Amino acid sequence: MQSRYFTLHSHPEGTPARELFTLETAELPALAEGEIRVRNTWLSVDPYMRGRMTGVTTYIEPFELGAPLQGSAVGEITESRVEAFPVGTRVRHMNGWRDITQLPAEQCEPLPDIDVPSQAYLGVLGMPGMTAWTGLNRIAEMQHGDNVLVSGAAGAVGSLAVQLAKARGGTVVGIAGSQDKLDWLESHGVKAVSYQGRDADQLTAALTEACPEGFDVYYENVGGVCLEAALNTLRVGARIAVCGLIAGYNDTTPTPGPANLAMLLIRRARMQGFIVFDHWEHYPSFLEEVGPQVADGALDYEETVEEGLERTPDAFLKLFEGANRGKMLVRL
């Protein structure tokens, strides 16, 4: 049995070039006791993977040059030497960027028994959905009636964050780029504001027009001018949950900090970064609350799908062009 997988053989500088990703093939050994073999059906690509390509350890180990890249994936067990993981079981694991993998069964989890497509466990009911829920509820401590601002509001995380915030009854404003993303936000009762072509002062004015009272919660996915404008529009006692800063992920020089950090002091605001894996013990609570809403259609979610293993690097690179609405996925 062979496995095809992508590797990197050098660390990218700036936006990775497509040519840096190499598709390779290897023979898989016979299954050892305790192992399973999985044919992947869906792969996830996520912005955090860019940080793993630098060779520097952050909150997660970097990718190893020449080794198969990793990422969340779902698939079906085709061979097993573990009684609790029979052939045919659908599982989620971290051996993405490849078509077939084998790994210890303890590194997999069977998909929950909720009536949703399996790829939902890579998006709205997977890490992005859990990230949105965690940032709002555990980090920003969102309350009923809070005014909430979300950057990257039509992406995999932001698109669920705005819907969860909308259910709490306050004004919800989403920052996005393309017109189709702005239209999607408006169709879900979210006030949509474009960042395109605006500096921090112009974006501040647009956000103030959308919500003159200011924001109790800011869910940060982007950084840059979005963060600077958000700081200008905080209410006293505001809470900022920092999920990501994608605007600077491919920068080759240090990203300047916002010039108005004094707003944290003036508004007596709290700003906290978080990594969702530190909160994964609460995943059952998230699934219990959000799973039924997804299954019955009360929560909408978008997917942008690339077809075939060969398109995995292209799907990843499109994340930094803002080309995805909702979760970016690769279907095998």
Q: Which residues contact 327 (CB under 8 A, 6 or more apart)?
A: 44, 119, 122, 123, 124, 128, 156, 301, 302, 303, 304
Give the mean pLDDT of 244-250: 89
Give the mean pLDDT of 34-51: 97
Kindly tell me if the per-residue pLDDT of 252 is higher than 90: no
Give the mean pLDDT of 229-240: 98
262-292 confidence digits (pLDDT tens): 999 999 999 999 999 999 999 999 999 999 9
Does the domain at 127-277 match CATH 3.40.50.720? Answer given as yes
Question: Would you identify the CATH topology of the domain 2-123+301-331?
Answer: Quinone Oxidoreductase; Chain A, domain 1 (3.90.180)
Of the pLDDT bands very low, low, confident and very high (cuts 50, 70, 90), residue 156 is very high
If you average pLDDT over every residue of the chain, what do you get? 96
pLDDT higher for 256 or 164?
A: 164
116-153 confidence digits (pLDDT tens): 999 999 999 999 999 999 999 999 999 999 999 999 99
Residue spans of the domains in the chain: they are: 2-123+301-331, 127-277
Q: Which residues contact 138 (CB under 8 A, 6 or more apart)?
A: 274, 279, 282
Q: Do 36 and 85 meet the contact criterion of CB atoms below 8 Å apart?
A: yes
Kindly tell me if the per-residue pLDDT of 257 is higher than 90: no
Q: Do 35 and 102 meet the contact criterion of CB atoms below 8 Å apart?
A: yes
Kindly tell me if the per-residue pLDDT of 260 is higher than 90: yes
pLDDT recorded at residue 251: 85
Residue from 313, 318, 314 nearest 69 by CA: 313
